[in-house]
Structure 1
Amino acid sequence: MPPTLNPGRLLGLSGSYWQTCALHAGVKLGLFTAIGRHARSAEQVAAMMDADPRAVTMLMNALVAMALLKKEGGQYANTDESRLFLDESSETYQGHIILHHHQLMASWADLEKAVRTGRPVRARSSLQDDEARRHFLLGMFNLAMGLAPRVAAALNLTGRRRLLDLGGGPGTYAIHFCQFQPDMQAVVFDLPGTRPFAEDTIARFGLSDRIKFVSGDYLETPLPGRYDMIWVSHILHAENPANCRRIIRKAVDALDAGGSLIIHDFFLHDTLDAPLFPTLFALNMLLGTEGGQAYSQAQVEVMLKEAGLQRIERLPLDSPNDSGLLIGYRSS
């Protein structure tokens, strides 16, 4: 073995799920929420969670080693990061997307089977139980709440009055776009099971008079109305190339002259082997969809051009998971 090589990196990769499971357990137990803004002993936290004190001490010490908790004099406290993102009382709580990740773990353990067969090993989120759907929708909402203001600022919304948020889930982006552009009216188009959460979310932002929810399947249902802006966020990666072309063509057909179609997704480099997150996300789509995958910017550009869009450009976006924005315009 060359002196500069050792198996440490590989062993670290192989065992990294231990840290993942410790984080997931902390979130599932409500440990970070129990600590809140206080410093508490392991015994206090165990009593609050109705859990075993010895086991809670072991978990909390591991979370200290992971820099998710601080410890001083036998008292444990949240770090700034944990208080901001892992305490359920925080407006920037990310626990739901973490619990969604936890629900994906069983399928990831069957990755070898999916690679051998080329077939998914889990049901799509829309077909799972209510708890799984809740964590997925709330997780998407919480992630989008952090990113949507930056996206709204990056886009030129001047003069845009009629928005379609295609497959828009709870309508987070439609909400922020309408807040940014006071003259905008929007339609959130998604599956019927999403309606209660979407309408409740829209109402909480006081936008029920400007944002309407329409139920439908973006592959099978005709799109309602015409728009000068269509937002397609994290849809294409769940579909095969033929369905992606179909979705884009339907969107373009509903777009007014001069209107814009914006694709928000995890874009691979043209070599298809970077960045890291989209390459791994492609495997996640293998595990959960019949033909979904991550696409490169070049692949999506071809689809947009085939559908008749012009002036296709990539907009800069600083996102936590390498998502990007690709925009094309229908000719006037």
Structure 2
Amino acid sequence: MNAATAPVSPAPVWDVINGFTSYWALSAALDLGVFDALAKEADTGTGLDAAQLAAAIGAVGPGPVTVLAETLVALDLLTAVEDRFHLTPAAERFLVSTAPASMAALVRYSPGPPNAWPGLADTVRTGAPEPTVTADLIELYPALVRATGPTQAGVAKAVAAELERRGWWPEQPTVVDLGCGSGAWLTGLLQSRPNGQVIAVDLPNVLPIAEQAATDIGMRDQVIAVAGDYLDVTLPVAAADVVVLAHVLRAEPTDRAQQLLARAVELAGADGVVVVVDYTRPDPVRNGIGEDGEDGGGGEDRSSVYGAARHELLLSLTMLASTAGLGVTVADLRSWAAAAGAELVDSFEPVPRQHVRLIRSRTPEATS
């Protein structure tokens, strides 16, 4: 049978349906402590069989545990050698609860409020989530920002090293972190500049988490906490060496996101730098060519662009489900920066799937 007469496969539909099952398989494994139990045996290299794993997690017997563990193997989260199960490198690094870069909590909270998803069709139709969803998200924020901490800490340290390499990281910097969340950015930056100062801005129910993070590393005195809306809250400084916008722009409607970037550019002034970290959607198509330079005229080519951005698009949809945001594109950042008298000078990926953009003023002092 040639390609012209080959039957159309339902695989893409099943993949999406099974995505729901896959998520809950991972969630159940975390709730049961499957990865932590296997981590305790990792040094021996022997792994656990289904009966041993059942005993370790307090399950009644090996049958149901076998089904779950085999599914996790199929999802590349465990490996199986004969009848024994082992952690994959990714599971060991990101799913063991005590691992420095653990995403175990993020698995639970990254999708946002559970009630946002059944109402997604209405959100798309009306352009905004139900008020109850927004209220649930605000309540969820403290747990969500804590969950992002391990991942963001690594990104912050990498960015500090990059800023130092470029000569944009003074010995006693002033940093403004707009939407400081877990405090991972302010602590990651301060650890390389213990004589610096950070202005940390976030909602009243989130700010104590960042304050505690600074306390935990003995640098609470270097942090000035400011509670309120980062667009119009009064700051104790008029300028900063570094302004951080980490995963906040995509959650805002377009007008607020542009205003927030403009405020960051103003704070950075002629010599500072705005650090934007976000999951950017593909740039829009203009006259058949994407603003990212990709050919948008042919369906196949444009499909490949969207396929490559699957992760970023799904996270943008997560924003749509529970916030007023639609995500953000690189074209947005370029346009908004230009309107504020600045430009996007570089992009890099210090940690897989964590995209960093550096924005600086167009004045001679900043571009010389």
Q: TM-score, normalised by structure 1?
A: 0.87
Question: Which of structure 1's runs of 4+ aligned residues deviate more than 6 A?
Answer: none
Aligned residue for 1:195?
Answer: 207
Is contact 1:151-1:317 (8 Å) kept?
no
CA contact (8 A) 1:154 1:315 kept: no
Equivalences for 1:6-155 in 2 at 5 Å? 6-38=9-41, 39-53=47-61, 54-72=63-81, 74-101=83-110, 104=113, 106-121=115-130, 122-123=133-134, 127-128=138-139, 132-155=140-163
**Within the alignment, does 1:277 sit opposite 2:277 as a pair?**
no
Where structure 1 has 5 or more consecutive residues not aligned to the other structure, the ranges are none
Question: Could you tell me which residue of structure 2 aligns to residue 166 of structure 1?
Answer: 178
Structure 2 vs 1, CA of residues 73 and 3 (structure 1 numbering), >3 Å: closer, same or farther? closer
1:183 Cα deviation after fit: 4.2
Q: Deviations over 1:171-203 (max 9, x none)?
A: 212222222335422121111212332122112
Aligned residue identity for 2:12: R
- Give the distance between the partners of 2:362 and 2:235, measured in 1 at CA: 17
Q: Which amino acid aligns with 1:224?
A: P
Q: Which residue of 2 is the match for residue 325 of structure 1?
A: 357
Cα 1:263/1:89, change in 2 over 3 Å: closer
1:306 maps to 2:315: no
Matches within 5 A, 1:184-263: 184-226=196-238, 227-263=240-276
1:295-320: CA deviations, max 9, x gaps?
Answer: 221222221222233x4313222443
Q: Note the residue ranges of structure 2 that are not aligned, 5 or more in a row.
A: 42-46, 286-304
Could you tell me the TM-score, scaled by structure 2's length? 0.79
In structure 2, the residue matched to 1:265 is 278
Measured after TM superposition, the shift of residue 100 of structure 1 is 1.0
CA contact (8 A) 2:103 2:150 kept: yes
Please tell me whether the aligned partners of residues 344 and 359 of structure 2 are also in contact (alpha carbons under 8 angstroms).
Answer: yes
3-state SS of the aligned residue for 1:176?
helix
Alignment identity in percent? 26
Do 1:27 and 1:99's aligned partners in 2 also have CA atoms closer than 8 Å?
Answer: no
Q: Partner letter of residue 138 of structure 1?
A: R
